[in-house]
Amino acid sequence: MKEWWIQVGLLGIPLLAVYLHIPPPQLSPELHSWKASGRFFTYKDRNIFYQDSWGAVGSSEIVVLLHGFPTSSYDWCKIWEGLTQRFHRVIALDFLGFGFSDKPRPHNYSIFEQASIVEGLLGHLGLQNQRINLLSHDYGDTVAQELLYRYKHNRTGRVLINSLCLSNGGIFPETHHPTLLQKLLKDGGLISPILTRLMNFFFFARGLAVVFGPYTRPSEAEMWDMWAGIRTNDGNLVIDSLLEYINQRKKHRDRWVGALASMAVPLHFIYGPLDPVNPHPEFMNLYRKMLPQSTVSILDDHISHYPQLEDPMGFLNAYLNFINSF
């Protein structure tokens, strides 16, 4: 019986490893092929993953997709095919700290840096003088707002924006209600590093399910794909640092809301109205009041915070109607 604690320890380590899913989950065949069809480019020594599909021959238009938190470019997989039938080029990236891109730690993640990465990608692809249609979601909305601000102010290296379509995102800090897990990770002080280490698939899936509509939750396999994207390069350990964007949105509210309000290019918003993070009608009322020049598509009542995954057809139709309207 002596040194019983060694035995407990030896038993405990594999149990903890199972709990924490060490090693990280394998990529599903779908996610693996998503990765295989993409590429990396280097932004200041960081590897950034992106997809660049050549599509419709009759068109010369380009769409760039900006994903949300805490997921990746894979969020666009259900509408990718549809977009390639309409656009000459469909481009999406994984922001720094997300998906297959590098996840440096410690690092002060910022919306400004992500916007510079988008500019860097377009420069890398030789598209800095082309007009770009931006389609964004959640975290990506804020990056799009910063790109818009730079565009408006004629910043060197700016993306030439042809149109902007936002979707469910906290563009107004005052109507944004982060989930409990987001709040804990962001403001948890000493708790957040522990939480990011203890977070496993079970807690992640529970936490993310609340931002999907009851009939449109991802399957278990789809949840695993999202989790595998986060776990790549130990991304769970940078989540608290990425969440700093919520504070940045508050701090730079006037810059970013102002960029939308004075927008001279076509603007649209696709909204899943069941979104607990940006609730209806509070959010939409403020949106219409602040941005009367924008058109809006409100999807079915049961669609929530991830409209492009929950209702890909509805989302795609809404977007193509917008694109075909100018």
Ligand X SMILES: *[C@@H]1O[C@H](CO)[C@@H](O)[C@H](O)[C@H]1NC(C)=O
Q: 2 vs 153, which CB is nearer to ligand X?
A: 153
Does 324 help bind ligand X (rule: CB under 6 A)? no
Asked if 131 touches ligand X (CB under 6 A), the answer is: no
Per residue, the 3-state secondary structure of 106-147, as one string, reads CCCCCHHHHHHHHHHHHHHCCCCCCEEEEEECCHHHHHHHHH
DSSP annotation of 49: E
Q: Which of 4, 6, 15, 108 lies at the binding interface for ligand X (CB under 6 A)? A: 108
Kindly tell me which of 199 and 259 has the beta carbon lying closer to ligand X.
259
| Distance from the Cα of residue 297 to its chain's centroid | 20
> Among residues 18 and 160, whose Cβ is nearest to ligand X?
160
Amino acid letter for position 183: K
Restricting to residues 137-176, which ones interact with ligand X according to CB under 6 A? 153-154
- Please report the DSSP string for 184-237 in residue order: HHHH-TTHHHHHHHH--HHHHHHHHHTTS-TTSPPPHHHHHHHHHHHHGGGGGG
Residue number, 159 or 270, with CB nearest to ligand X: 159
**Amino acid identity, position 142:** T
CB of 108 to ligand X, least distance (A): 4
Q: For ligand X, give the closer residue by CB, 205 or 237.
A: 237
Options 20-28, 41-49, 102-110, 203-211: segment touching ligand X (CB under 6 A): 102-110
Amino acid at 1: M
Position 106 contacts ligand X (CB under 6 A): yes
Question: Residue holding tokens 């941005």?
Answer: 291
Size of the site for ligand X (CB under 6 A): 5
Question: Of 106 and 214, which CB lies nearer to ligand X in the complex structure?
Answer: 106
- 3-state DSSP assignment of residue 265: coil
Which of 30, 107, 36, 96 has the alpha carbon at shortest distance from 66?
A: 96
**Of the candidates 78, 107, 176, 177, which one interacts with ligand X according to CB under 6 A?**
107
Which tokens belong to 254? 């006037």
- Binding residues for ligand X restricted to 7-46, rule: CB under 6 A: none
Distance of CA 212 to the CA centre of its chain: 15
Write down the least CB distance from residue 303 to ligand X, Å: 38
Whose Cβ is closer to ligand X: residue 108's or residue 156's?
A: 108
Smallest distance, ligand X to C-beta of residue 220, A:
36
Tokens of 265: 């290019």
Q: Which stretch binds ligand X (CB under 6 A): 55-63, 101-109, 136-144, 289-297?
A: 101-109
Binding residues (CB under 6 A) for ligand X: these are 106-108, 153-154
